[in-house]
Amino acid sequence: MSKAIDTIRKIQTGELPPPPVATLIGFTLTEVEPGRAVIEFQADRRHANPMGTLHGGVLCDIADAAMGIAYAATLDEDETFTTLELKINFLKPVRAGRLVATGRLVKGGHTVGLLECDVVDDKDRLVARASSTCMTLRGEQAAGR
């Protein structure tokens, strides 16, 4: 059976277009395998909050993407998923520069998975750490999503 990861890999290689939110925020999927995904992102003035630093929510955007793709890459073609919740700790203010978010599956079961994500800056310093709980949807639950 064809796996969801095949579709995701086509996004990574450019055969398929990136999702709109990736274009809007400006993040790129650079690596993916089942249970692991790497997102790269260039923080600049467009992402600043009133204090001139990177808006924390943008770190959620890239962490959510990295963890969601890592989980999606474990699914079969007829499965989809939803993220139930996400938690993030902001560890270091960022002004500008390249960030890398690495999402990985900590533990997956038949229906629910726990994922984590480290976001590091270009000096490999930890900027944020996130976790999320994803749930696989099948059959009727998956239809129309």
Q: Is 51 in the site for a second copy (CB under 8 A)?
A: yes
Please answer whether residues 27 and 40 qualify as being in contact, where contact means their C-beta atoms are separated by less than 8 angstroms.
yes
Q: Is 70 in the site for a second copy (CB under 8 A)?
A: no
Answer for which of 61, 75, 103, 117 binds a second copy (CB under 8 A) is: 61
Closest alpha carbon to 115 in 127, 130, 125: 130
Q: Is 58 in the site for a second copy (CB under 8 A)?
A: yes
Q: Is 28 in the site for a second copy (CB under 8 A)?
A: no
Q: Is 133 in the site for a second copy (CB under 8 A)?
A: yes
For residue 83, the minimal CB distance to a second copy (Å) is 5
Please answer whether residues 37 and 29 qualify as being in contact, where contact means their C-beta atoms are separated by less than 8 angstroms.
yes
Half-sphere exposure of 46 (CA within 13 A, CB side): 7
Q: Is 20 in the site for a second copy (CB under 8 A)?
A: yes
Residues 73/77/83/84 CA torsion (nearest 10 deg) = -130
Alpha-carbon gap, residue 124 to 130, rounded angstroms: 16
Interface residues with a second copy (CB under 8 A) are: 7-8, 11, 19-21, 23-25, 45-51, 53, 55-58, 60-65, 68, 72, 80, 82-91, 93, 106-107, 111-112, 114, 126, 129, 131, 133, 135, 141, 145
